[in-house]
Chains A and B, each alone.
Chain A
Amino acid sequence: MSAVQYPAVLDAVEGCPADLIEVLQDIQTECSYLPEDALRAVSEKLSVPLIEVFRAANFFKAFTLVPRGRHLITVCQGTACHVRGASRLLDAVSGLLEVSPGETTGDGAFTLEAVNCLGACALGPVLVMDGRCYAHMTPDKLRRLIARTIKQDEEGSAND
């Protein structure tokens, strides 16, 4: 799945331990997760002890060691969004897709993440899906958004 992608990322990097976090971010973006062999390669290329690479991969929320779904739904749980009912968005998603934050649906379509603040606080509740930010979200709007996405996926695969 990812075997061909990350060497390109590693090639562009100088072998400096300080680059670890940036390199991991690039690999995460390319492969949508951090494969074990990529991490071993990073350890060698940057001369960072393997345990330190493993630690960094587990410490930061931006990184996952398991593949994410095709569509990443990130629901903001910041204070301003929270007082405007952001937890209901999580309810809506978990009811519809039967996943908790951090989990991916069985068919690999959706991953749900809760994040602690996206910085669009005046427009809460806010969520991001597939890189696009949605403001003033309600459980109803979210239900429709997910339904639209599922439909688009089906149409997309039907056209293949």
Chain B
Amino acid sequence: MIKLSTPEEVAQWAERERRERSKFDFTVTMCAGTGCQTAASPAVIEAMRDELNRLGLHNKVKIRTTGCHGFCEQGPLMVIEPGNIFYRTVRPEDVAEIVSSTLSNNEVVERLCYVDPVSGERIATESDIPFYKAQDRTLLRQNRLVDPCRIEDYIAIGGYSALVKVLTSMKPDEVISQIKESGLRGRGGGGYPTGRKWEQCRAAPADEKYVICNADEGDPGAYMDRSVLEGNPHSVLEGMLIGAFAIGARKGYIYVRKEYPLAVEHSKKAIEQAVEVGLLGENVLGSGLSFEVKVARGAGAFVCGESTALMASVEGKVGEPRPKDVHTVEEGLYGKPTNLNNVETWANVPGIINEGAQLFAAKGTAKSKGTKIFALTGMVKNTGLVEVPMGTPLRHIIFDIGGGAANGNAIKAVQTGGPSGGCLPVDKFDLPVDFEALSEAGSMVGSGGMVVMDESTCMVDVARYFLAFLQDESCGKCVPCRIGLDRMLEIVTDITEGRGTMKQLDLLEDVAETVQIASLCALGKTAPNPVLSTLKYFRPEYEAHINEKRCPAGVCRALITYSIDPEKCTGCGACLRACPHDAIDGNKKELHSIDQNTCQKCGICRDECKFDAVLVE
């Protein structure tokens, strides 16, 4: 591997890499992100490799395995250049045809083309796909162009040129000015102005400082950080190097949750390669900057996404937050000034330095600048990662990009911001995704999770789900979070099981207020948001559960009964076989019945029945 000793050598290497790439007739890019891997993309990649070798084409066709492209529902994904041909749900059996038709004869394999679910049109090129077209994929675009395990790929697309610019022509204060001017705010959920954070950390007097990348991403429903770190780890490293230079830090950590083994692996590999070529370590590119990075793994605790808990975990201690009367930029890891930023925040830095703060600030709203990646999931047609300018209306993301309702049920709400956020009803969908706008409405942008819910979702159950999650993940140190959330869960569970009273709703709001004010850390302080937002916008559902002992969405198990319709049942026995609780009885070709004492209301029988004979009341 090459060893770089001066900044000029970076650009020279990039030139060489680009020349290498142009030697190939075709480049076949295949997604090997976690999502596509579950759909067996490695098998497709292997099949492609074998086929090309077999035909002796391996010198003419370059295979590039990349990280997540974000269009996960359509995986395994394949893009062929030149021509920008886009194939989806590719299987190993399809490879031979792809090679013979597209690579050898420039013909498109129609059946592998994406079909737009709204218009029914077959689309052959990636750039024409509405899902991608409607986005501004400043960050995600790069995932398509690099193999995360090859630093050469990152160099070829201009990687580390921002670092070169900083090291050769900027002073730390100038770097901080640029970041401040860009208006970049923390992408992990806090939304704190990044430039100001760097400035405060720089100003804190100490002999040792740290920078940390928070890749704990514990919000259920969020996987943006996973994709960026898995797919383009060098963008994060470059950001951290620039940050370390600006702040005066010599050591850094990337804290990755252990549930992301691929992200851990790719981060470690990226660090190894950067060290090998001299972009990390002592005297980087001869500039005098020394910076080393280590990967620290989470061990299964959502609370470790909180900065003080994260730092405790890096120090080898239990992940309990500490009060933040003194901020971590003054006293953080090992008591030293520490600048912690989210993966996406770090990844945005090289672009801001290279393109200038103005370009970044030109996108978005007055107070929320740049683009943000959202994980659009739940009951929409197109699920996946969506990168749009801040200020884009929710409606545009859910309907225009997401394609609207997935299966005929009307969309009812969108949950943003994970367990710290809230649920917003359809009449709030014109709100822009902007830090202030969503907070005012009772939710938050958060880390970027966006779960769409329809009529089949019970909002009281959603509140209960989040309370149960937070109560499980609470560290337990402080009374309001440990006991308060437990009492709130007690009340909401009573409501979902038909024991609720209107007086309890008042108590619920009272406790929620105390938990918000009195909790020690942000986990506790934001924990009541799902409950409060569902109470605000979906109060009729709560009241139906309490006053009528009825769950309008037909979800809360204690309030529904499953039975078999004698008119429709054919006695096929599918439900009997499927029931995991042995609650169904009946003879072949005769009416089956459900034993109400054993039935757990799981709904598996309804899924299995082909005759619509299972009734829920």
Q: Given A91-B600, A95-B580, is A121 in contact with B377 using a C-beta cutoff of 8 Å? A: yes
List residues 48-106 of chain A with CB under 8 A from any CB of chain B: 48, 52, 55-56, 59-63, 77-85, 87-88, 91-96
A residues within 8 A CB of B17? none
Nearest Cβ on chain B to A58's Cβ, whole angstroms: 9
Cβ-based interface call for A117 (8 A): yes
> What are the nearest 6 A-B pairs in CB distance?
A95-B580, A61-B300, A78-B220, A80-B377, A60-B299, A20-B316
Contact call B300/A18, Cβ cutoff below 8 A: no
Contact call A119/B260, Cβ cutoff below 8 A: yes
Cβ-based interface call for A35 (8 A): no
Q: Which of A25, A60, A121 has the most CB of B within 10 A?
A: A121
A residues within 8 A CB of B297? 21-22, 25
Cβ-based interface call for B152 (8 A): no
Contact call A60/B300, Cβ cutoff below 8 A: yes
List residues 45-74 of chain B with CB under 8 A from any CB of chain A: 72-73
Contact call B258/A79, Cβ cutoff below 8 A: no
Residue in contact with A139 in the complex, picked from B418, B466, B604, CB distance below 8 Å: B604
Contact call B39/A135, Cβ cutoff below 8 A: yes
Chain A interface residue number, banded: 35 or more
Cβ-based interface call for B210 (8 A): no
Contact call A19/B316, Cβ cutoff below 8 A: yes
Contact call B220/A117, Cβ cutoff below 8 A: yes
Q: State A123–B221 Cα separation when bound (angstroms).
A: 11
List residues 93-138 of chain A with CB under 8 A from any CB of chain B: 93-96, 115-124, 126, 133-135, 138
- Chain B, residues 356-387, CB within 8 Å of chain A (1/0): the string is 00000000000000000001111100011100
Nearest Cβ on chain A to B118's Cβ, whole angstroms: 18
B residues within 8 A CB of A95? 579-582
Nearest Cβ on chain B to A2's Cβ, whole angstroms: 19
A residues within 8 A CB of B578? 139-140, 143
Cβ-based interface call for A24 (8 A): yes
Which of B198-206, B267-275, B449-457, B495-503 is near enough to bind chain A?
B449-457
How many residues in B have their beta carbons less than 8 Å from beta carbons of A? Answer: 64
Residue of A nearest to B466 (CB): A79
Residue in contact with B317 in the complex, picked from A56, A82, A85, A138, CB distance below 8 Å: A56
Residue in contact with A61 in the complex, picked from B73, B226, B301, B315, CB distance below 8 Å: B301
Beyond A122-B376, A123-B38, A143-B578, 6 extra complex contacts between A and B, CB < 8 Å? A59-B319, A80-B378, A81-B220, A88-B602, A116-B473, A122-B385
Q: State A18–B608 Cα separation when bound (angstroms).
A: 51
Residue in contact with A83 in the complex, picked from B218, B300, B457, B472, CB distance below 8 Å: B457
Q: State A96–B581 Cα separation when bound (angstroms).
A: 8
Residue of B nearest to A59 (CB): B318
Q: State A134–B226 Cα separation when bound (angstroms).
A: 18
Q: State A133–B607 Cα separation when bound (angstroms).
A: 23
Contact call B600/A88, Cβ cutoff below 8 A: no
Q: State A78–B222 Cα separation when bound (angstroms).
A: 9
Contact call A115/B299, Cβ cutoff below 8 A: no
B residues within 8 A CB of A62? 258, 298-300
Nearest Cβ on chain B to A79's Cβ, whole angstroms: 4
List residues 459-481 of chain B with CB under 8 A from any CB of chain A: 465-466, 469, 472-473, 475
Nearest Cβ on chain A to B445's Cβ, whole angstroms: 16
Nearest Cβ on chain A to B527's Cβ, whole angstroms: 14
Contact call B316/A21, Cβ cutoff below 8 A: yes
A residues within 8 A CB of B220? 77-82, 116-117, 121
Contact call A87/B602, Cβ cutoff below 8 A: yes
Q: State A154–B603 Cα separation when bound (angstroms).
A: 31
Nearest Cβ on chain B to A152's Cβ, whole angstroms: 19
Contact call B296/A83, Cβ cutoff below 8 A: no
Nearest Cβ on chain A to B569's Cβ, whole angstroms: 19
Contact call B604/A135, Cβ cutoff below 8 A: no
Q: State A88–B226 Cα separation when bound (angstroms).
A: 26
A residues within 8 A CB of B221? 78-80, 117, 121
Q: State A95–B601 Cα separation when bound (angstroms).
A: 13
Cβ-based interface call for B313 (8 A): yes
Q: Given A18-B314, A59-B319, is A119 in contact with B301 using a C-beta cutoff of 8 Å? A: no
Contact call B472/A123, Cβ cutoff below 8 A: no
- Chain A, residues 17-44, CB within 8 Å of chain B (1/0): the string is 1111110110000000000000000000
Cβ-based interface call for B35 (8 A): yes
Contact call A133/B600, Cβ cutoff below 8 A: no
Cβ-based interface call for B94 (8 A): no
Contact call A120/B35, Cβ cutoff below 8 A: yes
Q: State A139–B600 Cα separation when bound (angstroms).
A: 14
Residue of A nearest to B608 (CB): A140
List residues 306-322 of chain B with CB under 8 A from any CB of chain A: 313-319
- Chain B, residues 572-616, CB within 8 Å of chain A (1/0): the string is 000000111110000000000000000010111001100000000
B residues within 8 A CB of A16? 316
Q: State A78–B75 Cα separation when bound (angstroms).
A: 21
Nearest Cβ on chain B to A92's Cβ, whole angstroms: 5
Q: State A22–B75 Cα separation when bound (angstroms).
A: 33
Contact call A133/B38, Cβ cutoff below 8 A: yes
Contact call B258/A122, Cβ cutoff below 8 A: no
Cβ-based interface call for B494 (8 A): no
- Chain B, residues 211-225, CB within 8 Å of chain A (1/0): the string is 000000111111100
Cβ-based interface call for B84 (8 A): no
Contact call A117/B219, Cβ cutoff below 8 A: yes
Residue in contact with A120 in the complex, picked from B34, B302, B466, CB distance below 8 Å: B34
Nearest Cβ on chain A to B608's Cβ, whole angstroms: 7
Contact call A83/B317, Cβ cutoff below 8 A: no
Cβ-based interface call for B415 (8 A): yes
Cβ-based interface call for B486 (8 A): no
Residue of A nearest to B380 (CB): A122
Q: Given A60-B319, A61-B299, A79-B451, is A135 in contact with B35 using a C-beta cutoff of 8 Å? A: yes
Contact call B451/A80, Cβ cutoff below 8 A: yes
Nearest Cβ on chain B to A90's Cβ, whole angstroms: 9
